[in-house]
Amino acid sequence: MSKAAWFILILGIPSRHVAGKAPEGSGEVTTALVTQYDEASRALGPAARLAILGIHQDRSDSEGRNSPKPALTPGLLRGFPGLEARLLAGGGRAWAEVFDEALSGRSRVPLAKDDLAALALRAVLGAETDEELGEVLRAVIHWDLRTALPAVVGLLKSPDSSIRAYAVYALRELRARESIPRLTTLASSAGSEERRAALWALSELRAREAVPAVAELLEDPDPEMRMAASWTLAELGAREARTLIGRLLQDRDGDVRGMAAAALGMLGIKDLALEIEELLFDSSPAARRGAVEALAHLGKRSALPRIAGLLGDRDPGVRAQAALALAALGAAARRPEIAKMLRDRDVDVRVAAAEALGDLEPTGFEEDLAHLLDDKHPVARSAACGALGTFPSKRTLPLLVERLSDPESLVRVAAACVLAGIGDRRAVPTLLAESQALHYLNVVADPAAWARWTKRARWREVEGPRKEILESLARTAGVTLDLSLLASAAGERWLSVPCRVRSSPGPRSLVGMLREVLTGHYYFILEGTCVRVLPHEDALASWKTWWIEEQRRIR
């Protein structure tokens, strides 16, 4: 299951909001990801957020409006004269405004970290929209305001999936391991939505100490909790729970059976492959999908005929998963059957078929993919660009160039990435204008360096603080790593956060791993045997300068 699919599961977002794969750079839980995957996002006001946290309002102003009881420090009172009256008049929104002013250095006197922490705690409660809350939490992360953690953990109880996502993101970025006991308790005792969000937070914090408590949830009466617990254990690499997860292959709920199979596949439990394979004939589409995914993870080529039989399954999710599994298992002989799926009535199936053909080599099926370039769904057109780009030819290049003028940014970027990937300079203006996928400009600028570091694939999985991973990748590849532009407090904090990158079905090259670790927060520039990592704004400015100089040189 993809990271996006896990996001959808754990937050309870209806699958109808998702079409195909998420755009590049969405591996992180960011504001953009929340916006894309939760169209029904609802904003909570300060009163509702206070109620969620179990904090009762106990003051009213002259107009009868309730306001959170201020937690004012002497520093805040000196820094903002008349602050009490302002907060009483402005309610929860005023806390967020004062917090923004404090971070911008607009207080009368310098503020201590405790002052900022007090503001952050109330600003989390007072933010009236998701956008305001996101800004507050980003500031909490930037300034390491850990005294706001109780409020952040409390947001996991929100009925709004986007707010829960913000909270989990903040907990991970703050490396809030001190919250693990509370998260473990929350996962075992709260309502369904907050329990799933707590499990997600535990997986992001790599909370191996929570494995026994999470394993107990495999017997929870709520099927959604059994599913979430299975996946969390897989994310935590808890092979010791294999027997308990294996029992769920016989669960009365089809969704649970499918999730258990997928989790066992992720854990690499090959001795249960036969039991998993039996689910290919299950009456539940979810069970069939999970079994297909698991068998692909386990590399069970003996199951190829049965998986191929599911290309005609009545459930579109099963058809899509079967196509992807055949590609993962290297079933090139099945390409004609997969090509027919490019005209499937379901867009997710068409996308999966395009991706599968791209992985298996689309030579001979260019006409079928060219037809998909005119699909009404942008995600399908984008997938067609990606597939055609795996083996570009004189025949397909004009089609890709046309897509640089597509009305949808997703498609323009996909076409530009393919063209830049073969050194075609026509892609440069699009990538600079869209300010996305800037790493592909390395191909145009220094094709020799790109070829050198994409040629050899070595890594299947890496885990640890981001800085340690980057340094390990550089040592193994024999390149110099330049992190000098990440010397700020925010950069150092981001580098210190643990992460895990998996490669499936095969190993990734240095370039591939760098893209996964940096995940859109930062970009890299290859300069001979040196890899420079830099913030997005700096990378964009650097590439724009390079492009101006290149154009002058050519003239």
DSSP string, 433-452: HHT--GGGHHHHH-HHHHHH
3 state DSSP class of 104? coil
Residue 163 pLDDT > 90, yes or no? no
CB-count burial class (<10 Å; 0-12, 13-18, 19+) for 403: buried
- Per-residue confidence at 396, pLDDT binned at 50, 70, 90? confident
For residue 62, report the phi and psi dihedrals to the nearest 5 degrees: -65, -20
Query: Rounded to whole angstroms, how far apart are CA atoms 227 and 206?
Result: 18
341 CB-near residues (< 8 Å, 6+ apart): 311, 319, 323, 349, 350, 352, 353
pLDDT higher for 528 or 38? 528
For residue range 325-344, list pLDDT tens digits in order: 999 999 999 999 999 999 99
Task: Please tell me the predicted confidence (pLDDT) of residue 386.
Answer: 92
Structural contact between residues 124 and 96, judged by C-beta atoms closer than 8 angstroms: no
Give the residue from 523, 1, 521, 534 showing the smallest Cα distance to 258: 1
Task: Please tell me the predicted confidence (pLDDT) of residue 252.
Answer: 97
- Per-residue confidence at 43, pLDDT binned at 50, 70, 90? very low
Structural contact between residues 312 and 342, judged by C-beta atoms closer than 8 angstroms: no
The single residue listed with the structure tokens 């090959």 is 270
pLDDT higher for 40 or 259? 259
Query: Rounded to whole angstroms, how far apart are CA atoms 542 and 536?
Result: 10
CB-count burial class (<10 Å; 0-12, 13-18, 19+) for 536: middle
Q: Which amino acid is at 486?
A: L
**Helix pair angle (254-267, 223-235), 10° resolution:** 10
Average pLDDT (366-388) is: 94
- What does DSSP assign to residue 519? B
For residue range 448-477, list pLDDT tens digits in order: 888 777 766 667 777 888 899 899 888 888
User: Which residues, in sequence order, are bridge partners of residue 531?
Assistant: 481, 526
CB-count burial class (<10 Å; 0-12, 13-18, 19+) for 395: exposed
Query: Rounded to whole angstroms, how far apart are CA atoms 522 and 216?
Result: 39
Query: Rounded to whole angstroms, how far apart are CA atoms 279 and 276?
Result: 5
Residue 320 CA to its chain's centroid (Å): 21
The single residue listed with the structure tokens 């949830």 is 217
For residue range 183-224, list pLDDT tens digits in order: 898 888 867 788 888 898 899 888 999 999 999 999 999 999
The single residue listed with the structure tokens 């045997």 is 529
For residue 502, report the phi and psi dihedrals to the nearest 5 degrees: -110, 150
The single residue listed with the structure tokens 């005209």 is 343
Structural contact between residues 520 and 539, judged by C-beta atoms closer than 8 angstroms: no
Task: Please tell me the predicted confidence (pLDDT) of residue 507.
Answer: 64
Task: Please tell me the predicted confidence (pLDDT) of residue 226.
Answer: 96
**What is the β-pairing status of strands 522-527 and 461-465?**
unpaired
**Helix pair angle (223-235, 3-11), 10° resolution:** 140
Ordered by where they begin, the domains of the chain are 442-554 (3.55.50.30)
Average pLDDT (260-267) is: 96
Range name among 7-21, 114-128, 241-255, 493-507 with the lowest pLDDT average: 7-21
Query: Rounded to whole angstroms, how far apart are CA atoms 101 and 180?
Result: 32
219 CB-near residues (< 8 Å, 6+ apart): 226, 244
Structural contact between residues 207 and 177, judged by C-beta atoms closer than 8 angstroms: yes
Structure pTM? Answer: 0.74
Q: Which amino acid is at 90?
A: G
Average pLDDT (225-233) is: 95
Average pLDDT (345-353) is: 96
Structural contact between residues 256 and 218, judged by C-beta atoms closer than 8 angstroms: no
The single residue listed with the structure tokens 């404090």 is 102
User: How many residues in the chain?
Assistant: 555
For residue 459, report the phi and psi dihedrals to the nearest 5 degrees: -105, 135
End-to-end Cα spacing for the chain: 49
Average pLDDT (493-499) is: 78
DSSP string, 213-240: HHHHGGG-SSHHHHHHHHHHHHHTT-GG
pLDDT higher for 330 or 159? 330
Average pLDDT (104-109) is: 77
Residue 532 pLDDT > 80, yes or no? yes
Give the residue from 103, 143, 108, 151 showing the smallest Cα distance to 126: 151
3 state DSSP class of 495? helix
- Assess whether the previous peptide bond of 181 is cis (omega < 30° from 0): no
Give the residue from 407, 433, 401 showing the smallest Cα distance to 420: 401
**Residue 358 CB-half CA count within 13 A:** 21
Residue 424 pLDDT > 60, yes or no? yes
Task: Please tell me the predicted confidence (pLDDT) of residue 506.
Answer: 56
For residue range 475-492, list pLDDT tens digits in order: 888 889 999 988 876 788
Task: Please tell me the predicted confidence (pLDDT) of residue 125.
Answer: 66
Q: Which amino acid is at 266?
A: M
For residue 393, report the phi and psi dihedrals to the nearest 5 degrees: -145, 170
Average pLDDT (264-273) is: 95
Number of neighbouring beta carbons within 10 Å of residue 353 = 33
